[in-house]
Amino acid sequence: MKKFAALLLAMLMVLGSVSAMAMTAGTYEAAAKGFHGDIKIAVTVDAEKITAIEVLEQSETEGIGTVALEKLPAAVVEAQTIAVDAIGGATISSEAFKAALTDALTQAGADMDKFTAAAAAAELVEETLETDIVVIGGGAAGLTAGVKALQGGAKVILLEKTAMTGGASATAGGSTKAIGSKWAIESGATDTPEDFIAAITKNGHGKNDPATVKNFAYNMGAAFDWIVAEDGGAVPYKKSDKPSTAFGGEGRGAGIVKSLTEKFESEGGVLMVGTPGTELIVDNGAVVGVKAEGNGKAYTINAKKVILATGGYGANKDLVPDEYEKFVYAGHAGATGDAIKMVEPLNADLINMEMINTQPNSMIKPSGLGQYCNPGVSKAYAAGGFMVNQDGVRFVNEVTNAWDIMQEMKKNDFQFLVMDQAAFDGFNAGMTGSAIYSMEDVAEWLKDDYAGQPVLKTAATLEELAAKLNVPADAVVAAAAKFNEVAATEGTDEFGRTIKVAQSAEGPFYAMQMHIRYYASLGGLHVNDDMQVLNANQEAIPNLYAAGEVIGGHQGDVYMASCLFGYAVFSGHHAAVAAVAAMN
Ligand SMILES: Cc1cc2nc3c(=O)[nH]c(=O)nc-3n(C[C@H](O)[C@H](O)[C@H](O)COP(=O)(O)OP(=O)(O)OC[C@H]3O[C@@H](n4cnc5c(N)ncnc54)[C@H](O)[C@@H]3O)c2cc1C
């Protein structure tokens, strides 16, 4: 009897657990908002398992979000849990995919505790590799270094911690500074390296490292000549019919990265994605390789030279100074300053670590990332838009240079761009024209019950608008009256703005909250003319090189247009030349 009771209990427990987990077999559809729009998926389940996931609709960024949507369905089906790693660099698309998946599984009656449990960690298999050069980081700097080193006859392994190459480079415009290049000279540009040194030093408020700037100024031309040459990087850049010292690539930053990645692989480079470099292997003060982990393996990679190209540290709260907390991050998720940690045991010299590039004219996208609004604000201001702060007063010449606008914005608690219908139409034309958002997004954000980002409000009168913004109405009304008074004579206001277009006295009015965003970090490793990483005694650490945003000092406290991407290309090229030369 006792035996029977125990058997019954066991059967009930089994039945109980099965019924708690059992799903209703079938295919369930769900959607969640990704980076650009809805990601819609169909999830097929039997009673216990997810058997298939199909992405039905998506409009994520090609080569970034799309990679997440290619990889995640198989990873989830394999691990039978949602708790697979998000695809680094495509966190928003990954999280949206997981949100839709959670919805579909809930519809199927799944036991969500089971499907959100972490997958069992597998034991890493040890593997040792030998190569000439290891490049850590697959952005523009690392890929340029990799391709150039291969062409110099080196065997190269390139480690990229996320599932795809690209980094910040893939999200950037990709305009590349190229003073002294053949294309710049052919275009009629007459700027010299000395002109450039003066300009970038002025732009960076003299906070630049002079030797680093000089190296960049005199060698960027050769790097650019190489990257466009058929027997060099063969990257499809576009020439200019006007005198020009900077050139854009086909497909912007993402196109340049794609082209370099293909070149790297076709030249015989070993690309290991999803494989972060974790530690430098050091023997008697000299770097002799890298430890890395990925795809179930723990690698020891012995190498003659190592090039650090891990990008910036804007995504690492421990490295970003506290004063940036009130700004919004707009950079790459992989920019966690890994190399800064790797060089700690080597007593490496770090410079300008407190400097991060900030820019005004930014909104926050629903994803929480900062988004530049330059195409919108320029049109809004031309049509009579202006900004007010928490006191409802104007505080700056809204059309002056970015640096000055930012200094004034920093003094505020918050600020709104106030627009009449014409200014709002201009703003939207600029933003939709640059494919930053759609008018369907605007309709959603304007709903009274919309509580997310961006903060966008509308009202029939300025008084009602001010109430929605929680700023004093009389101050906003007075600001508009004074603005229109100056516009009536096409005069110049107390901030130095010449106002030619008044704001309408008729509603509706609109207000979009404006922010300062930060992304590229401007501090980092200190290097010598051969891109060797220096220690605190200003001695080169044997066999250790760097390229790209991981290096500090080239820009000063604000970056000059095209000069960060330009620096990535220059320094990647230069580091590879020096490392290959020192190898032989
Ligand atoms: C939105 C945006 C717009 C920009 N616009 C401009 C512009 O208009 N003009 C301009 O000049 N500059 C611009 N920049 C800056 C410029 O794009 C970057 O400074 C430059 O591309 C950096 O190149 P990089 O190769 O050094 O770094 P990244 O391109 O960031 O590449 C670094 C790579 O290293 C990987 N990585 C990090 N740690 C590890 C590790 N431990 N192991 C393996 N891999 C690792 C990262 O995942 C990443 O893929 C912009 C940046 C952003 C974010």
Looking up residue 364, the CATH number of its domain turns out to be 3.90.700.10
pLDDT at 425 exceeding the cut of 90: yes
Q: How much is the pLDDT for 20?
A: 44
513 Cα–ligand 1 center, Å: 27
332 Cα–ligand 1 center, Å: 7
580 Cα–ligand 1 center, Å: 23
In the structure, which protein residues have their CB atom closer than 6 angstroms to any atom of ligand 1? 89, 136-142, 159-162, 166-169, 171-173, 175, 253, 276-277, 309-311, 330-332, 334-335, 338, 519-520, 548-549, 562-566, 568
42-59: average pLDDT: 93
pLDDT at 1 exceeding the cut of 60: no
- Specify if 10 maps to a domain: no
209 Cα–ligand 1 center, Å: 20
18-37: average pLDDT: 80
Q: How much is the pLDDT for 4?
A: 45
CATH code, 63: 3.90.1010.20
Same domain? 388 vs 348: no
- Specify if 7 maps to a domain: no
What is the per-residue burial (b if ≥16 Cβ within 10 Å, else e) of 52-68?
Answer: ebebeebebbebbbbbb
% of the chain surpassing 70 pLDDT: 95
309 Cα–ligand 1 center, Å: 9
Same domain? 271 vs 252: yes
pLDDT at 299 exceeding the cut of 80: yes
Report whether the peptide linkage leading into residue 360 is cis, meaning its omega lies within 30 degrees of zero.
Answer: no
- Specify if 462 maps to a domain: yes
Domain assignment of residue 96, given as a range = 18-115
Ligand 1 pocket test target in 61, 224, 328, 332 with most atoms within 8 Å of CB:
332
Same domain? 131 vs 93: no
- Of 115, 135, 157, the residue at which a domain comes to its end is 115
Same domain? 144 vs 101: no
CA of 170, closest atom in ligand 1: 29
- Report which of residues 19 and 277 the model is more confident about: 277
33 Cα–ligand 1 center, Å: 25
484-505: average pLDDT: 97
Please report which confidence band the pLDDT of residue 120 belongs to, taking 50, 70 and 90 as the band edges: low
CA of 562, closest atom in ligand 1: 11
CATH code, 550: 3.50.50.60
pLDDT in tens, 68-91: 898 899 888 888 888 777 776 677
Same domain? 333 vs 386: no
Q: Report the distance separating Cα 407 and Cα 444, nearest Å.
A: 32
- Of 500, 518, 536, the residue at which a domain comes to its end is 518
Ligand 1 pocket test target in 157, 160, 235, 517 with most atoms within 8 Å of CB:
160
Same domain? 29 vs 172: no
Same domain? 65 vs 199: no
pLDDT at 14 exceeding the cut of 50: no
Q: Which two tokens stand for residue 539?
A: 């001695």
Ligand 1 pocket test target in 564, 567, 569 with most atoms within 8 Å of CB:
564
Q: Report the distance separating Cα 330 and Cα 225, nearest Å.
A: 31
pLDDT in tens, 453-475: 999 999 999 999 999 999 999 99
CA of 176, closest atom in ligand 1: 11
pLDDT at 502 exceeding the cut of 90: yes
Same domain? 72 vs 195: no
- Specify if 542 maps to a domain: yes
Q: Which two tokens stand for residue 288?
A: 């002799």
Please report which confidence band the pLDDT of residue 313 belongs to, taking 50, 70 and 90 as the band edges: very high
203 Cα–ligand 1 center, Å: 21
Weakest-pLDDT range from 97-106, 231-240, 243-252: 97-106
Measured by CA distance, the residue closest to atom 9 of ligand 1 is 562
Q: Report the distance separating Cα 164 and Cα 347, nearest Å.
A: 31
Nearest CA-CA partner of 461 in 452, 474, 448: 474
Mean pLDDT of the chain: 93
pLDDT in tens, 331-347: 998 899 999 999 999 99
Q: How much is the pLDDT for 37?
A: 82
Q: Report the distance separating Cα 330 and Cα 522, nearest Å.
A: 15
pLDDT at 219 exceeding the cut of 90: yes
* pTM, entire model: 0.86
Pairing of strands 386-389, 524-525: unpaired
Measured by CA distance, the residue closest to atom 31 of ligand 1 is 139
- Specify if 93 maps to a domain: yes
Q: How much is the pLDDT for 10?
A: 45
